[in-house]
Amino acid sequence: MTKVFIDGEAGTTGLRIRDRLADRGDITLIRLEEDRRKDDGARAEAYGQADVAILCLPDDAAIQAAAMAGPTRLIDASTAHRVKEGWVYGMPELPGARNAIRDAVRVANVGCYATGSIAMLRPLTDAGIVPATAPVTLTGVSGYSGGGKSLIAEFEAGTAPACFLYALGQSHKHLAEIVEYGGLTRTPAFQPMVGNFRQGMAVQLHLHADMLGGGVPGAQRLEAALREFYAGDPFVRVAMAQDRVDPQRLNGTNRMELSVHGNGYDRITVVAVLDNLGKGASGTAIQNLNLMIGADETEGLIA
C-alpha cells in the first residue's frame, strides 16, 4: 500500500488526481482537513507520512514545498522544476524516461502545451527531419480550465470573451521545457489561445518543407517518424488527417492523438489533441506515479 499526499488537492489538477486515486486498492491518500491545508506544521507531518507527494501548487509554493518535503519522493505539477538540475522530467514517452521516472526521487510533471508540442517535435528532431535550429512555429487552443480558478470563474460568469490570444510577448512559461526536451536549440514562436470550453486542447506545429532535413519532404515521412517513435505506446497514437480537429474529442481520457496535415509538398501542420486536464496534467501525474511505485503504467487511466 503506497501512501500519497496531494498538496493542493482543492485545485483543478489536484481534484482530478484525488478523484482518480480515491478508489485505488494499492493507494492510501493522506488528507488534511480544509482548515489545516495551509498549516505548514500539518503539511510537514503529511509529507513525513507519505511515500510519494504530488504538488499541485503555484510555482513559488511548489519550491517551498519541495524544501519542506525532505526525502519524500515528489511529483511536481507546477512549472517550477521542469528544467532544474536534480529533477527528472515527467514525460514517460521520451527516450529513457520511463526508467528514469521509476528510480526518481524528484519528478517534474510535463506541462499541458508542452506535452503536445514535445510529442510532435521530439520524434522529428531525433530523426533529423526538423533541425534543432529550425525556425519552428507552434500555435494552440486550450479550454479555460488551464487558466486556473480566476479564469474559470471569469468564463463561468460569462464575462470572458468567447476566445482570446495570450502570451503575445513570446514568454509563455512552457517554452523552456519545449526547447529542452523537444530537441531544439532555437526557441520557437508560440501563440496559444483560450476557447470558451472547459477542457480539451489542440496544439499545432507548422512547418515549411524547405526547413526540413533531407529526404522526401511530404507528410508521409513525418507520419512514419511519429509512428515509429510511438509504436506500442499505451496512450499515444498517430491518427489519419481530418478536415476538422476537435480539441475536446479526447476529454476524460489519458490519450493523445497526433496527425499530419498539409498541402502535400511544401507546407505541413502536425496536430496534437489531448485533454489539458488529463494527459496534459493529472493523467500524466498518475502515469508517473504508477511508474514510481511499480504499478502498471495504465492503472487508473483511460487508454
d(CA 47, CA 135): 44
Residue 56 bears catalytic tag? no
Distance CA 78, CA 98 (A): 20
From the candidates 88, 104, 112, 202, give the one annotated as an active-site residue. Answer: 112
Residue 268's nearest CA partner among 201, 222, 214 is 222
Which residues carry out catalysis?
112
